[in-house]
């Protein structure tokens, strides 16, 4: 199972949120490049970077993302505020291998289809879930779309992987509901990356049992920065 460390950015600083609330931001570092190189040195294969300023529509952190891409050899996965084709193209042209898109299919279907047509192999669908329903726009807008239905639609579009975030757990260090991820992976048949609430290596080992259902990996964030997980136990970014 792939394990992916996360870097969330506000004003070019490494932060973490609680349940996605901007006002809950806690700063951990003013040097995200240093963290990216640290993760690379430990053998991780991919870093998940969220541009929170772009997600909240108050600027972006593209300059620092470009610097990370230029100064590291690790695969970067970028999410947050990818609202049009031009932004997607700029990010991909910088050397980023994966872009996470969540709100765009709901907010601007035509623009999403344009990105889909040109960059299908780069797209990971981002599905933020509360009470089994998809939420969009930085979790500020509710939809009536069921999580599994949206995942099946993504598979029909030709997308092979989805990051599914359990909003109720995100940033809480409260542990994960592995049954939730196992069930949606099995029902949707798309490769699932679990996100939200992972506290320690035990949580990851419970998630690993869901590989048979189609779980591909897990994203870890606050557990790194709060020191509740020992990254040395994750050899080469795999469990």
List, in sequence order, the alpha helices (H) in 120-176: 147-157
* Cβ atoms within 10 Å of 64's Cβ, excluding its own: 21
**Is the separation of the CB atoms in 165 and 129 below 8 Å?**
yes
What span, in angstroms and rounded, lies between the C-alpha atoms of 134 and 94?
30
What span, in angstroms and rounded, lies between the C-alpha atoms of 120 and 123?
5
How far is residue 1 from each of residues 135, 183, 208, 239, measured CA to CA in Å?
A: 26, 17, 6, 5
* Cβ atoms within 10 Å of 12's Cβ, excluding its own: 15
Q: Is 120 helix (H, G, I), strand (E, B) or coil?
A: helix
Active site residue 11: no
Q: Is 42 helix (H, G, I), strand (E, B) or coil?
A: coil
Catalytic residue among 51, 128, 166, 203: 128
The beta strands (E) that lie in 30-177 are given as: 46-51, 75-79, 98-101, 123-130, 133-136, 141-146, 161-166
Catalytic residue among 8, 53, 166, 203: 8
- Residue 217: its H or E element: strand 215-220
Active site residue 202: no
What span, in angstroms and rounded, lies between the C-alpha atoms of 91 and 17?
24
Return the active site residues.
8, 128
């Amino acid at each position: 199972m792939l394990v992916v460390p996360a870097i969330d950015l506000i004003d070019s600083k490494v932060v973490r949120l609680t349940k996605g609330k901007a006002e809950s931001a806690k700063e951990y570092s003013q040097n995200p490049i240093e963290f990216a190189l640290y993760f690379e040195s430990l053998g991780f294969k991919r870093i998940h970077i969220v541009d929170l300023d772009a997600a909240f529509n108050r600027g972006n952190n593209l300059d620092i993302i470009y610097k990370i891409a230029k100064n590291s050899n690790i695969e970067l996965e970028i999410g947050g505020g990818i609202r049009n084709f031009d932004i997607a193209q700029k990010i991909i042209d910088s050397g980023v291998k994966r872009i996470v898109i969540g709100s765009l299919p709901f907010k601007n279907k035509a623009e999403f289809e344009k990105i889909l047509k040109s960059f299908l192999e780069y797209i990971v669908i981002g599905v933020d879930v509360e009470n089994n329903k998809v939420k969009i726009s930085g979790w500020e807008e509710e939809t009536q779309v069921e999580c599994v239905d949206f995942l099946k639609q993504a598979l029909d579009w030709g997308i092979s992987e989805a990051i599914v975030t359990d909003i109720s757990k995100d940033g809480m260090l409260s542990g994960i509901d592995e049954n939730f991820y196992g069930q949606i992976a099995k029902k949707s048949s798309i490769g699932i990356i679990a996100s939200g609430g992972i506290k320690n290596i035990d949580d990851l080992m419970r998630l690993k049992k869901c590989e048979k259902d189609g779980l591909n990996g897990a994203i870890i964030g606050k557990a790194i920065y709060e020191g509740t997980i020992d990254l040395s136990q994750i050899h080469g970014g795999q469990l």
